[in-house]
């Protein structure tokens, strides 16, 4: 501060700081809440039964269907699909519409081949006659029936089939298996590395160098790990395995193509720095008196680690695991290089021996978001599905976090006396 310019009073300066920081915090909360609201609205909204409308046009033509989208001065109307799913969209200019009705006798029919059609009828159409698998009098539904219909729609979409694509379960299962396999790989390696850094590497120059290197690895973009996984695991190791053990099947690759195992290894590489840094910090937080107390009773370094330090560091291990999951679930880009697919013919985990199939390609929620949003044949259905997948992904991460957080809290309570 230059002389001659009076300092604002301490209270005022404090106030500005308080307001500024509060505003920033409010912005953060608003953003987080906004994401959730958008995902819930856009992801779940389309499953809520929309009213069926009948548009009467200037030329006396009548169109029966659901308004899928309002686009400036026009509506996109989803009408009966005649040949295949999603071929019934009609663009209607508002100026041409004379009248909008909501006929109470309108029926929405779902056909066995996934088509949807709309019809006005006094009675429920004969099931089976025209391959109808479901029919509902949309505009006559009560609120309770709408809720039930919402639940049915959601369940049908999640389970897949009936023209709605593969559903969410394969992608959910793929994501879960991938994350768990990744955890099984990364946690032991990361913990062992952290133990070595903490207990044996010491604070010297090499230790500092290694710590710095591990820290910067955490900042490498995930796609770089994808390329590494493609070159090292898929083509390098996978290719070699194929040449040695599956030569009779070549050129059809067995392990030489992207698959669950390579994706899990790639994600393990990606999350390793986070695990190492977090676990080492956890070990460093344990009071020295505990370590010395154990050593003074004739325990070796290794015995002290096993009997005392690792149990005490369990909250940190859980934190490391949570952070690894968070980073792994969010990394979709590298997966595209090492084995994720839009539609996998079979799950990586099933009832067929050996139950877990590490060479299989798999589906992933994060990829489903991308694929639905950009590459769906029916954009008007795909985008809401992208939101629904994103919502499920967020739900999955929050559930895993909450579970780990609960366990961590219980551990913390047990060791609370050591935190002081």
Helix (H) or strand (E) holding 288: helix 288-296
Q: CB nearer to another protein: give 267 or 309.
A: 309
Angle between helical axes of 314-330 and 379-414 (0-180°, round to 10) = 170
Q: CB nearer to another protein: give 311 or 358.
A: 311
CA distances to 124, 287, 294 from 299, rounded to whole Å, are 80, 17, 6
Q: Is the peptide bond before 333 cis (omega within 30 degrees of 0)?
A: no
CB of 216 to another protein, least distance (A): 24
Measure the CA–CA gap between 70 and 135, rounded to whole angstroms.
Answer: 26
Per the CB < 8 A criterion, the answer to whether 185 and 261 are in contact is no
Q: CB nearer to another protein: give 141 or 308.
A: 308
Q: CB nearer to another protein: give 89 or 415.
A: 415
CB of 311 to another protein, least distance (A): 7
Measure the CA–CA gap between 382 and 404, rounded to whole angstroms.
Answer: 33
Residues that bind another protein (CB under 8 A): 202-203, 287, 289-300, 303, 307-308, 311-312, 414-415, 417-418
- 327: number of Cβ within 10 Å: 18
Q: CB nearer to another protein: give 266 or 304.
A: 304
CB of 418 to another protein, least distance (A): 7
Q: CB nearer to another protein: give 122 or 288.
A: 288
Per the CB < 8 A criterion, the answer to whether 85 and 378 are in contact is yes
CB of 213 to another protein, least distance (A): 21
Q: CB nearer to another protein: give 294 or 319.
A: 294
First to last CA, the chain: 40
CB of 298 to another protein, least distance (A): 4
Per the CB < 8 A criterion, the answer to whether 137 and 51 are in contact is no
Q: CB nearer to another protein: give 318 or 332.
A: 318
Could you give the angle at the alpha carbon of 302 between the alpha carbons of 297 and 304, nearest 5°? Answer: 40
Per the CB < 8 A criterion, the answer to whether 273 and 217 are in contact is yes
Kindly calculate the radius of gyration of the chain based on its CA atoms and give it in whole angstroms: 29
CB of 331 to another protein, least distance (A): 36
CB of 204 to another protein, least distance (A): 9
Alpha helices in 82-168 (DSSP H): 143-159
CB of 226 to another protein, least distance (A): 39
User: Residue 246: exposed, middle, or buried by beta-carbon count in 10 A (0-12, 13-18, 19+)?
Assistant: middle
CB of 194 to another protein, least distance (A): 17
Per the CB < 8 A criterion, the answer to whether 117 and 135 are in contact is no
CB of 279 to another protein, least distance (A): 18
Measure the CA–CA gap between 234 and 257, rounded to whole angstroms.
Answer: 6
| Full strand arrangement of the beta sheet holding 116-120 | 116-120, 106-111, 132-136
Q: CB nearer to another protein: give 101 or 281.
A: 281
Q: Which residue has the tokens 């639940």?
A: 151
Q: CB nearer to another protein: give 70 or 303.
A: 303
Q: Which of 304, 270, 291, 46 is nearest to 153 (CA)?
A: 46
């Amino acid at each position: 501060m230059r002389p001659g310019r009076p300092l604002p009073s301490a209270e005022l300066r404090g106030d500005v700081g308080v307001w500024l920081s509060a505003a920033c915090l409010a912005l953060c909360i608003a953003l987080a809440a906004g994401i959730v609201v958008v995902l819930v609205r856009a992801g779940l909204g389309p499953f809520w039964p929309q009213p069926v409308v009948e548009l009467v046009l200037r030329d006396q033509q009548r169109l029966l269907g659901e308004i899928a989208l309002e686009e400036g001065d026009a509506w996109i109307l989803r009408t009966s699909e005649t040949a295949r799913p999603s071929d019934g969209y009609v663009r209607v200019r508002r100026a041409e519409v004379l009248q909008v009705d909501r006929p109470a006798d309108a029926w929405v029919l779902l056909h066995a081949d996934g088509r949807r059609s709309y019809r006005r009828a006094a009675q429920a159409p004969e099931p089976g006659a025209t391959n109808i698998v479901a029919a509902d009098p949309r505009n006559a539904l009560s609120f309770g029936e709408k809720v039930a219909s919402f639940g049915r729609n959601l369940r049908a979409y999640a389970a897949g089939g009936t023209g709605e694509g593969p559903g969410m379960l394969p992608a959910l299962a793929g994501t879960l298996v991938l994350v768990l396999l990744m955890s099984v790989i990364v946690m032991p390696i990361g913990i062992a590395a952290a133990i070595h850094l903490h207990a044996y590497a010491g604070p010297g120059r090499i230790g500092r160098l290694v710590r710095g290197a591990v820290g910067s690895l955490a900042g490498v973009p995930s796609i770089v790990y994808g390329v590494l996984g493609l070159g090292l695991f898929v083509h390098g190791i996978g290719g070699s395995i194929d040449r040695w053990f599956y030569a009779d099947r070549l050129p059809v690759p067995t392990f030489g193509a992207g698959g669950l195992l390579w994706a899990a290894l790639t994600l393990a590489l990606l999350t390793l720095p986070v695990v190492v840094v977090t676990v080492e910090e956890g070990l460093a937080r344990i009071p020295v008196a505990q370590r010395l107390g154990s050593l003074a009773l004739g325990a070796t370094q290794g015995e002290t680690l096993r009997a005392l330090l690792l149990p005490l560091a369990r909250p940190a291990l859980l934190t490391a695991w949570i952070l690894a999951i968070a980073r792994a679930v969010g990394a979709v880009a590298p997966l595209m290089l090492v084995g994720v697919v839009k539609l996998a013919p079979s799950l990586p985990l099933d009832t067929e021996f050996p139950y877990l199939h590490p060479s299989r390609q798999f589906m992933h929620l994060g990829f489903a978001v991308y694929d639905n949003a950009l590459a769906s044949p029916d954009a008007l259905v795909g985008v809401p599905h992208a939101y629904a997948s994103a919502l499920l992904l967020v739900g999955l991460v929050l559930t895993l976090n909450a579970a780990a957080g609960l366990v961590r809290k219980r551990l913390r309570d047990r060791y609370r006396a050591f935190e002081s």
